[in-house]
A and B are shown apart, each in its own frame.
Chain A
C-alpha cells in the first residue's frame, strides 16, 4: 500500500475509533463511568498526552532532543496564555516568533 493510502487508512480508522468512543459514552449506563477514579485518570491522560505533545513538538527533531527557535516561540505562547490571549492569537504569535528568529538566522 502506498504511504498516501496508508495515511487515508489511519485517518478513517482514527475517525471511526473516536466516534465509537463518543457513542460508547452515550450507550453505557451512566454509573459505569461515574467512578471518581475513572474520571481522574481520563482527565490526567488528556493532560499527559498534551504535555508530551508540547514537549516533543518543542524539543525534538528527527528523533533527537534539540533546542532551537521553537523554544522561544513556545515561551512567548506561554506568556500570551498567562495573559489570557485567545487560542488563535497564541498560535499565530508562536509562528511569527519562530519565523522571525529563523529569518535572522537563529
Chain B
C-alpha cells in the first residue's frame, strides 16, 4: 500500500533513473563501434557489455587491446578500473539487503550511475527504487546499443578513416572529466599522463597504463585528507584537463 505522496515520490525517482539510463545507454553505441575498431568481433563486444557491464573497464579493456597490448594487461587494467565498484557495493549492500540470486543481480548492476542515483535519494525505499531502475534500465539499453554500435562500426571499415581512434581518446576524456573536480585529482591525472607517455617507447603496450595506477596509489596514500569544501565549490569551468 502506498499513499499518493509515496506514489509521486516513486514516480519522480523512476523518471530520474530512466533519464540516466537513456543517457548512459546511448553511449553504448560508441563502445560497440570502438570495440569493433579495436579488433573485437560482434560476439566478443556483446559479451563484454553483457558480462563485464562496467563502462570504464570495458573502454579500458578495448583501449589496451587496440593499442597492441596483451590480454593480461587488458584484464589487469579493466580490473583496476573496476575496483571502485567494490566501494559502491559496500555502500549499497546495507541499503538493498538482498540475498541469493537477487544479491548476484544487485552486484552485477552496481556501477557509477546506479550508485549515484541510489545515494541521491532521501530514504532507503526510494534508494532501492533508484538503484534497481537505474541499474536494470542501463543494463537493457547499454547492451542493445552496444550491439547497434558494433554492427555500425563493422560496416564502417577502416577505423582511423572515420576518426574512431580519436573518438576512443575523447571517450576516455569524457569519462575522466567529471572526476577532475579536486586539485589532487588534477595533479594525479597530469602525472599519470606523463608517466604513461614516458614509458610508451620502452615498455610493452598496456604496461604504461598500469604504471600510471601506481602514481594514484602514491599520491592518494600520503598527505592530508582532501578538504571537503574543494569538491563542493569547484565549478566545472575550473576543471583542468
Contacts and interface: CB of A to CB of B under 8 A. Distances in A.
Interface of A: 4, 6-19, 21-28, 30, 32-34, 36-60, 62-65, 69-70, 73-74, 77-78, 81-82, 84, 86-88, 90-100, 102
Contacts of A91: 27, 30, 167, 170-171, 174
B92 A88 contact: no
A102 B162 CA distance: 9
Interface residues on B, range: 35 or more
B51 interface: yes
Contacts of A11: 40, 44, 47-48, 51-52, 61
B29 A88 contact: yes
Interface in B186-241: 188-197, 200-201, 205, 208-209, 211-213, 215-217, 219-221, 225-226, 236-237, 239, 241
Nearest to B189: A51
Contacts of A73: 163, 166-167, 169-170
Contacts of A78: 173, 241
A18 to B, nearest CB: 4
A7 B87 contact: no
Nearest to B73: A10
Interface in B130-173: 160-173
A17 B51 contact: no
A49 B220 contact: no
Most chain A CB within a 10 A radius of its CB, from B68, B172, B236: B172
Given A14-B78, A19-B108, A51-B190, A57 B168 contact: yes
A79 to B, nearest CB: 10
A21 B196 CA distance: 25
21 contacts: A7-B40, A14-B75, A17-B78, A19-B107, A22-B82, A25-B90, A43-B185, A45-B216, A49-B192, A50-B179, A52-B193, A55-B196, A55-B197, A56-B67, A56-B197, A59-B197, A64-B201, A73-B169, A84-B236, A95-B170, A100-B163
